[in-house]
A and B are shown apart, each in its own frame.
Chain A
Amino acid sequence: MKFRTLLAVALLATAAAAITSWRLRASAYTKPPTTPGTWHPIVRHQ
């Protein structure tokens, strides 16, 4: 009985840790990659 309880607790803890890890990874914002280069203002001719 004690062994079964311990096994159940261990399984539950493992499942909770896996879910937490997955949720953290899913919520992490990955900044989009920036195209290498520079922006230059276009001068307006009067």
Chain B
Amino acid sequence: MIRVLQAAPGVEVGRLPTGPDADGPPGSVEGWDVLAVDTVDAASRPLVEEACALGLPVVVGADLPVRFTPAPDATIVSGAASGAGLAAALAISMLPPSAEPLKARLAWTVAGRPLRAGRAVTFPEPVGSLWAGWGENPLPWPDVACCPAPTDSPWKAVRVDLEFHGAEGGGSLVHGVSDEGRFLDAVCFGSAILAAARGAYPRGAGGPGDPDGAFVRLAREAGMQVARFVAA
């Protein structure tokens, strides 16, 4: 993730130790442009609250804890390093301008024991086909089927099936990503931080997908490959 950030010009990366081996308080985020944390936990929460109070965007790699309620005027991007976040962001970026989504299916891999039954999802190789379960919809769209697919592979993948209609008629697209898990997490986390630094996210809590597709564009610039599925 640091490499992704260092590849962008004009980015200065600082670290505030918050772990149990840190000496003293973690310091202040005053004067920074973005705060990024892996998770919102007891150690990072004071920094997150300070950043929200200062109006800085906060990017969280994991999902927000259930009991954490951010201030309504804060900008918080959660799930920045998650398959669900990437799938939702990819779906937003796939939707043509002025088109409306009709139906979507988001599928992503999660770490775990592969299922023996469920909904079959064909991801790009080398992940291939997996059984998926049922997940929560990370998009504010109706009629979205969400399919988390457990895998014990170090590779991660997402797949988005999208049907839409617009002024120029309707259409359907199937896009997917498959890459080494740690690389994909780092690229997504770093890209969400850069997108936040460039003001891509509106106020409120949401995923890494932004209306202008800056997150996906930055991730592709950082090396994420997107593929298109063509049915036989």
Q: Let me know if A22 is at the binding interface, CB within 8 A.
A: no
Q: Point out residues on B near A: beta carbons under 8 Å.
A: 114, 116-118, 120-122, 124-125, 128-131, 175-176, 220-221, 225-232
Given contact pairs A38-B229, A39-B228, a sample of 4 additional A-B residue pairs in the complex whose CB atoms are under 8 Å apart = A32-B122, A40-B228, A42-B175, A42-B228
A39-B124, A39-B176 known; A31+B129 contact, CB < 8 A: yes
Q: Across the A-B interface, how many residue pairs have beta carbons closer than 8 Å?
A: 55
Q: Kindly identify which residue among B121, B175, B232 contacts A38, using a CB–CB cutoff of 8 Å.
A: B232
Cβ–Cβ < 8 Å partners of B221 in chain A: 44
Cβ–Cβ < 8 Å partners of B120 in chain A: 32-35
- Ranked 9 nearest A-B pairs via Cβ: A32-B120, A36-B232, A37-B231, A39-B227, A35-B122, A32-B129, A39-B124, A34-B129, A37-B232
A35 adjacent to B231 (CB under 8 Å): yes
A39-B124, A39-B125 known; A32+B230 contact, CB < 8 A: no
Interface residues of A in 10-46 (CB under 8 A from B): 29-42, 44
**Alpha-carbon separation in the docked complex, A39 to B127 (Å):** 12
**Alpha-carbon separation in the docked complex, A29 to B116 (Å):** 6
**Alpha-carbon separation in the docked complex, A32 to B225 (Å):** 24
Cβ–Cβ < 8 Å partners of B128 in chain A: 34
**Alpha-carbon separation in the docked complex, A36 to B230 (Å):** 9
**Alpha-carbon separation in the docked complex, A19 to B153 (Å):** 32
**Alpha-carbon separation in the docked complex, A40 to B228 (Å):** 5
B121 adjacent to A36 (CB under 8 Å): no
A30-B116, A33-B120, A35-B122 known; A41+B227 contact, CB < 8 A: yes
A-B contact pairs, 26 of them (CB 8 A): A30-B116, A30-B117, A31-B129, A32-B120, A32-B122, A32-B129, A33-B120, A34-B122, A34-B128, A35-B120, A35-B122, A36-B231, A36-B232, A37-B229, A38-B230, A39-B125, A39-B176, A39-B230, A40-B227, A41-B228, A42-B175, A42-B225, A42-B226, A42-B227, A42-B228, A44-B221
